[in-house]
Amino acid sequence: MSQILVNPNPNELNKFLPFKFHEASDVPLRVQVTFFECGGLALGVGLSHKLCDALSGLIFIKSWAAFARGDTNEIITPSFDLAKMFPSCDMENLNMATGITKENVVTKRFVFLKSSVESLRERFSGNKKIRATRVEALSVFIWSRFMASTNQDDKPGKIYTLIHPVNLRRQADPYIPDNMFGNIMRFSVTVPKTIINEHDEEKASLVEQMREEIRKIDAVFVKKLQEDNRGHLEFLSKQASGFVNGEIVSFSFTSLCKFPVYEADFGWGKPLWVASARMSYKNLVAFIDTKEGDGIEAWINLDQNDMSRFEADEELLRYVSSNPSVIGSAS
């Protein structure tokens, strides 16, 4: 296990999963346990996104672990009444596999220490009326470095979007309880008003714009979904079509920060390291808290040529450690 923790290779971690991401499957849950010669083990879990979102998946894993160690007080009983809250709909024409590719996607792990995160939050808080969150600051920073390093601003006619999934549980009125099992999220889409240059003021403006778009997913939005969600599905179809045709360059961010990713104790103690894997989606970033909770690991999936330019960006390298060892936090 120390070989993995000293020199973690995101593109090798998929060996601990029982499937390939680009393989379409109706299997709701797959699990692989890998035993190391040292006595440690890796648990690879894959849950179908048709079935649940990240919070539901993590609550399932945490409760599974509590059941395994006999701690029944920690088991959260799921509710499967979501279908009573949202109408069923025809998704036959919606291709959720859009963006999946088998070739040329490279995954790299970049670690932002607490000092770097706080520095970026300060830089992008603009006139100080708002303070950028950790995810907001890192989203804008990573996207701006992608734009600059890959010369995206030299490609006229493209529509650029920043996509963030939003948990609907806290947006609904009344709140949807956390134990409600399902895929209870929708996507916030931000189309930057200008191509970002090197001025922090423009990055702060994008933080505000992104926050405004996320706030549009509120109780009124959820109520409309509960009445009729066909409009949202039509929007997703148009986004997918634009992506396939090359008209839209989307950059998606998903965050597990503040989620209970390090709480799953099956009886051997809490995990030494919780990691993502190499995704089959291009232009996708996954944020995960470091085990200490004060830094953030960014798992970035890019086209191979884009990644070679992105990871050499001098401004990026001022703020990140590129794939450092995790053995220190695990010892």
Pairing of β 159-167 and β 248-255: parallel
Q: Which residues span the domain enclosing 109? A: 2-330
**Other CB atoms within 10 Å distance of the CB of residue 70:** 8
Candidates 315, 309, 314; CA nearest to 108 is: 309
Domain count of the fold of the chain: 1
Q: Model confidence at 292, in pLDDT bands (50, 70, 90)? A: confident
* pLDDT tens for each residue of 209-223: 999 999 999 999 899
Mean pLDDT for the chain overall? 85
Provide the pLDDT for residue 330.
41
90 band by pLDDT with thresholds 50, 70 and 90 = low
Reply yes or no on whether 294 is catalytic.
Answer: no
Choose, from 178, 200, 218, 265, the residue flagged as catalytic. 265
The model's pTM is 0.89
Does residue 134 have a pLDDT over 80?
yes
Q: What pLDDT is stored for residue 331 in this prediction?
A: 36
Query: Which of these ranges, 3-12, 106-115, 224-233, 312-321, has the smallest mean pLDDT?
Result: 224-233
User: In terms of C-beta distances under 8 Å and separation of at least 24 residues, what long-range contacts does 237-244 make, across chains too?
Assistant: 237/93, 237/94, 239/161, 239/189, 240/94, 240/95, 240/98, 240/99, 242/159, 243/98, 243/99, 244/98
Asked whether residue 329 carries a pLDDT value surpassing 50, the answer given is no
CATH number at residue 186: 3.30.559.10
Q: How confident is the model at residue 233 (pLDDT cuts 50, 70, 90)?
A: low
**Eight-class DSSP state of 189:** E
pLDDT 10s digits, 41-75: 999 998 888 889 999 999 999 999 999 999 989 99
Range in 27-31, 158-162, 181-185, 276-280 the model is least confident about = 276-280
State mean pLDDT over 228-233.
63
Chain-centre distance for alpha carbon 310: 19
Determine contact, residues 273/13, Cβ cutoff 8 Å. no
For the cut 70, the answer to whether the pLDDT of residue 295 exceeds it is yes
Looking at this protein, which amino acid is placed at residue 25?
S
The more confidently predicted of residues 199 and 329 is 199
49 is catalytic: yes
Task: Flag whether pLDDT at 282 surpasses 80.
Answer: yes
Q: What is the pLDDT of residue 226?
A: 84
Determine the average pLDDT of the residues in 281-298.
92
DSSP letter at 198 equals: S
Average pLDDT over residues 251-257: 94
pLDDT band at 296 (very low <50, low <70, confident <90, very high): very high
Position 50 scores a pLDDT of 81
Find the catalytic residue in 49, 81, 228, 294. Answer: 49
How large is the greatest C-alpha to C-alpha distance in the chain, in angstroms?
Answer: 59
Between 101 and 83, name the one with better pLDDT.
83
User: Rounded to whole angstroms, how far apart are CA atoms 256 and 58?
Assistant: 10
What is the share, in percent, of the chain residues with pLDDT greater than 90? 52
